[in-house]
A and B are shown apart, each in its own frame.
Chain A
Amino acid sequence: MLHYTLFLTFGAICVAGAVNLLIQRHPINSALSLVAVMASLAVEYLLLGAEFVAAVQVIIYAGAIMVLFVFVIMLLNAGEEARTGESRIALLLGIPGILTGAVLVAWVLEHAGSPAVAAGALPGSPRVIGWLLFHDFLLPFEVTSVLVLIAIMGAVVLASPAAKSISEGTQN
């Protein structure tokens, strides 16, 4: 019962936050509703027993990435987005698409049988995940570290003022 309530509550917060991200005009409001989505997803991970993924979700997504987003929004001083004319093709395709999707979801819920998820046990402890990362996935792990290093260097080169003077130098 508790499991059911938690799943429904945080699943609803998750989807409602995503909808709010789309309908808000100001980027800061969108960023804050994305934080709500990330946090409620972490609760869903905990319900699935993935405690390490839930912790990583809160630390990296709701912490680091969202701070980066808010920082850039403040830096660029991005204001409210102007509405353009409503797209007719979006209405023509979107409403039948939503109806089809709802019917499909209802049909799947009626007919598909899948194993129930038991609450309580947490199989994804940091110990097990760490063992897998450093044994079965050692090569992907090291390749990912190279990827992150290159991404950091790329971000520094792109965002530093030196890049500006270089691009201006080539233009002149």
Chain B
Amino acid sequence: MAPIATIHYLIVAAGLFVLGVTGVLTRRNVVIVLMSIELILNAVNLNLVAFSRIWGLHGQVFAIFVITDAAAEAAVGLGILIAFFRNKETVNVDEIDLLKW
């Protein structure tokens, strides 16, 4: 039985990244699009931590910065969503076309 190597973690992260991109591109609900963005950020974090096993701990510090940014992004994104829902009563991305002409 082969030992677990860095490449295995990278493959799990690649799967998460692809599923996140699929969610952003195919779902219509803004909340699920935001959740898919969190999935993409988590895939990046797994890569950073896996590489920090080889190259030192700076990758883990960077992963913590990414988690902080994800929290800020979720707060602002959901705030925008609430403000938008007040005006238009929808959460579907294909009905959000205020800037389209």
Residues in chain A within 8 A of chain B (CB atoms): 1, 3-4, 7, 11, 14-15, 18-19, 21-22, 27, 30-31, 34, 37-38, 41, 44-45, 47-50, 52-53, 56-57, 60-61, 64-65, 68-69, 72-73, 75-76, 78, 81-82, 84, 87, 90, 101, 105, 108-109, 112-117, 123-124, 128-129, 132-133, 136-137, 140, 144, 147-148, 151-152, 154-159, 163-164, 167
Contact = CB atoms under 8 A, between A and B. Distances in A.
B71 A30 contact: no
Interface of B: 1, 3-9, 11-12, 14-16, 18-20, 22-23, 26-29, 31-32, 34-36, 38-39, 42, 45-46, 49-50, 52-54, 57-58, 60-61, 63-65, 67-76, 78-83, 85-87, 91-92
Name A's interface SS. helix
Given A27-B31, A132-B57, A147-B69, A68 B14 contact: no
B35 A21 contact: yes
Contacts of B14: 101, 105
19 contacts: A15-B16, A22-B19, A22-B36, A31-B31, A41-B45, A48-B50, A48-B52, A61-B70, A78-B29, A81-B32, A82-B28, A101-B18, A114-B5, A132-B61, A133-B61, A137-B61, A151-B75, A152-B75, A158-B76
B32 A27 contact: yes
A68 B75 contact: yes
Nearest to A143: B65
A84 B92 CA distance: 12
Contact of A41 (B42, B75, B79): B42
A73 B31 contact: yes
